[in-house]
């Protein structure tokens, strides 16, 4: 297993080098999106409207941060169960999504789409949201404010620790 320090803007350059089990420190921009936001994103896609962020080369973090305490950039921001987004992920990957961060296994359709699109699925540790919040240096709500914690947010990460769970070659920590 290898260790990498990757800027998300360059994720496509690294994807082929990453193997299931590798440890990665992520830096740069990711977008939060969970169930309700994914549903809205699909409504925009289906109606031909502009998305709140460019999918090409993007990374989505399946998270719904808690309210921000005074003096902090963000509240607790741990991963949510990724399988709830399995119905949405293949299409997003086919449209250019390069990486996802969540917790837990993914279904066969998602695994196939990861390989087909040379993407990657990272796992973050559940229950460590307060620690992960310390690696988030900026947070801006960019879409669906009415969804509260499930709104889409642009996060800036600094040395955010994850593990490669499913790689672009079909390697899968869960198998």
The active-site residue, picked from 38, 103, 106, 153, is 38
Residue 66 CA to residue 90 CA, distance in Å, equals 28
Residue 127 CA to residue 23 CA, distance in Å, equals 18
Residue 38 is among the residues annotated as catalytic for this protein: yes
Q: Say whether 158 sits in a helix, a strand or coil.
A: strand
Residue 57 CA to residue 10 CA, distance in Å, equals 8
Are 76 and 65 within 8 A, CB to CB? yes
- Residues designated as active site: 38
């Amino acid at each position: 297993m290898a260790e990498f320090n990757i800027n998300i803007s360059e994720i496509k350059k690294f994807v082929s080098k990453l193997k299931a089990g590798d440890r990665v420190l992520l830096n740069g921009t990711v977008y939060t999106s969970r169930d309700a936001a994914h549903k809205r994103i699909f409504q925009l896609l289906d109606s031909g409207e502009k998305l709140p962020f460019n999918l090409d080369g993007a990374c989505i973090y399946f998270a719904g941060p808690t309210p921000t305490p005074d003096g902090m950039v963000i509240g607790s921001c741990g991963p949510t169960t990724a399988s709830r987004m399995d119905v949405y992920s293949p299409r997003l990957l086919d449209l250019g999504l390069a990486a996802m961060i969540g917790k837990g296994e993914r279904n066969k359709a998602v695994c196939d789409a990861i390989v087909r699109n040379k993407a990657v699925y990272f796992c973050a540790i559940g229950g460590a949201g307060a620690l992960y919040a310390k690696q988030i240096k900026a947070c801006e709500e960019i879409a669906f404010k009415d969804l509260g914690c499930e709104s889409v947010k642009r996060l800036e990460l600094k040395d955010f620790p994850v593990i490669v769970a499913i790689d672009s070659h079909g390697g899968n920590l869960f198998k």
